[in-house]
Amino acid sequence: MQGAADALVLIEDGALVVDGDGRIVYCGEFEKLPEDHDSWNVVDHRPGFLFPGFIDTHIHFPQTYAGDSYGGGQLLEWLNACIFPSESLFADPEFAREAAVAFCDRRVAAGTTQAMVFGSAFPHAQDALFEETRRRGLRVVSGRGVQTAGPDSAAALITSEDDAVRLVSEEIEKWHAADTGDVATAMLHVAVVPRFSLAVTTETLKNLGELYDSVRDRGVYFHSHLNENDRPGTGEVATTKEMYQVGSYLDTYDGKFLPGSAVGGKSFLGRRSILAHAVHCQDVELARMAETGTSIAHCPTSQQFLGSGTMPWKRTVASGVNVAIGSDFGGGDQFLLTQVLADAFKVHISEAGDDGISMHPAEMLFTGTLAGARALDMEDRIGNFDDGKEADFVVVDPRAWPPLQGVVEKGVRSEDPALARDQTLFALLMAMREPAISEVYVQGRRIDVS
């Protein structure tokens, strides 16, 4: 991703000009602003830094209160002991409504201006999420997490096959582009979200595949988990391949979910499909994701928490798949995507031998912003400060977080201006914490924590 480093721009005394429709009409040096700016409403953010809003491509709404849950094991044990019981609490509409407020508050505090949100099984909870998101002026892509199979601890989350399709269909009709009526301008979008192949059946995959195929042209999304945990004996990858008798986990989302990877229905893959984790992929799976334009939500914080391993960075990126960042909260314990990117830096520099890489700070920033916009097929709308894009940005004020102020103002910098710039960006990304995110804007409108 040398491209990210080449494309990086730092403007010391910059200006971002937003028109009445919330679109960027100028991003450049303050000095070079058109002369008529005296009449404009000018907000002076100095000594703050403006970043494009962060884009989280994988986060769980019904796990708002489930971060840092201890289950005494890895993924499947943790789901059973902690997550299914936590998500079942969303059956209470008042609990779900309060969680929607808390979830949006944490997003705003972290500067996450857009997110692919893995939803609750309960339609009233999804209503609360979409309503609160709209009320706050945020963006979201979300869909109810579908489960038609699973252990007793997930009983409250499981529906019949018929209800699974009906409820997803109703969610699409109710919320997809509900705010503007036009998918190209909407802030609210719906996704079809089977929890993972182990939580559904071949019948569910067939029925949801048909539904997805019928709404693809309306810009509906697809989201799920892939190749996350392969612990010998109880791992999710081996269990999935055994249960479906398929050659690859990805086949189950690619319409080839019958024994021997025989075709049993429609594929979910495409430009509006995001698969979380992809830690243990075969080359054929990466190639198929690249071919179909399916993106990966890379979730290193969660992968460490659940002992899921390290997604091989170089090999995955080299395959041509778009890799964006995901907090995977509550599998991860951080809403703040710069902290998730800091984890990415740490795990990938620690990969063995030639696989290890010192990520360039521009690559980290790209992964947390424009790659997310690309994963959501919204690169024409958000992700950076190109003219004509919608003005989603965060203001980072080092004075609000002294450890950040210290590294920004007093850290040693190279004599080489390009390296000095990279060092400043790296320090900002690594040392930023929520208090330093002093303002958050979506479509040019300031969003506040409630």
> Interface residues with ligand GUN (CB under 6 A)?
60, 75, 79, 83, 195-196, 225, 228, 302, 328, 331
> Of the two residues 187 and 276, which places its CB atom closer to Zn ion in the complex?
276
Contact 214, 265 (CB under 8 A): no
Q: Tell the smallest beta-carbon distance from residue 298 to Zn ion (Å).
A: 12
Question: Which one of Zn ion, ligand GUN, none is in contact with 389 (Cβ closer than 5 to 8 A by kind)?
Answer: none
> Of the two residues 297 and 431, which places its CB atom closer to ligand GUN in the complex?
297
Q: Tell the smallest beta-carbon distance from residue 79 to ligand GUN (Å).
A: 6
> Of the two residues 77 and 203, which places its CB atom closer to ligand GUN in the complex?
77
> Of the two residues 281 and 437, which places its CB atom closer to ligand GUN in the complex?
281
Q: Tell the smallest beta-carbon distance from residue 228 to ligand GUN (Å).
A: 5
Q: Which residue is nearest to ligand GUN (CB)?
A: 331
328 binds Zn ion per the rule CB under 5 A = yes
Q: Tell the smallest beta-carbon distance from residue 244 to ligand GUN (Å).
A: 15
Q: Tell the smallest beta-carbon distance from residue 59 to ligand GUN (Å).
A: 10
Partners of 440 in the β-ladder: 394, 447
> Of the two residues 127 and 328, which places its CB atom closer to ligand GUN in the complex?
328
Question: Which one of ligand GUN, Zn ion, none is in contact with 107 (Cβ closer than 5 to 8 A by kind)?
Answer: none
236 binds Zn ion per the rule CB under 5 A = no
Total residues interacting with Zn ion, rule: CB under 5 A: 2
> Of the two residues 115 and 391, which places its CB atom closer to ligand GUN in the complex?
115
Binding site for Zn ion (CB under 5 A): 276, 328
